[in-house]
Amino acid sequence: MSPDILRQEIAALDRAEWTTWPHAYGSARDTPGHLTALLDDDHEAQRGAARHFSSAIVHQTSVWPASPDAFAWLVRVLRERPPPDDILEDCLGALAEAGEYLGDVPTGPAPELSREGRRWLRKFGKTPDDEHDILWERFLGAEVNQEVYDWVLARMAGLRPAVADLVTALSDRVPTACDAVRAAWSVR
């Protein structure tokens, strides 16, 4: 796939449901712009995109409802047009951090999310970012919290084959970063 086609697909993500779901700092509506920045040649914008993945998409080893989709797109972007090595290492560092959170979560299809879990995600999507903290506090006290958390982890674990392919493809460029991802995601 060419970078131009990938840019077009990323541009269409403004209609993707997952971009309305939370990451560490609000909704993931800003994530497609960071994906596009990685495809461009502006080094500072690429650095900002890498920081986005290591601070908002995974935050202190916590993953969020938007994390599986955001990382799936990051893997696609890195496979299509890897950025300069320093940026690539930062992006792989975010992937490694997210993988450490998976532990022994098995790879396989994620369970269906309940109606109540979907309701919370839709509620996040309709809530302004400056009100997410309040909604998040209520969500943490809800019974469905653990179900959504398990669902996110199962969806993250489902990325293992794509992550394994990515680090195999990039291991000649940034071997140390790829080794860290392999170890964190338990992939060869």
pTM of the model: 0.95
Domain boundaries, the chain: 3-185
Task: State percent of the chain over pLDDT 70.
Answer: 99
Chain position carrying tokens 């495809």: 39
- Shortest CA distance to 55 belongs to which of 26, 19, 94, 96? 94
Residue 128 has pLDDT above 80, yes or no: yes
pLDDT at 27: 93
Q: Is 74 exposed, middle or buried (0-12, 13-18, 19+ CB in 10 A)?
A: buried
pLDDT digits (tens, 9 = 90+) for 81-99: 999 999 999 999 999 999 9
C-alpha dist (Å) from residue 14 to 1, 68, 117, 157? 20, 16, 22, 25
pLDDT digits (tens, 9 = 90+) for 18-62: 999 999 999 999 999 999 999 999 999 999 999 999 999 999 879
pLDDT at 29: 95
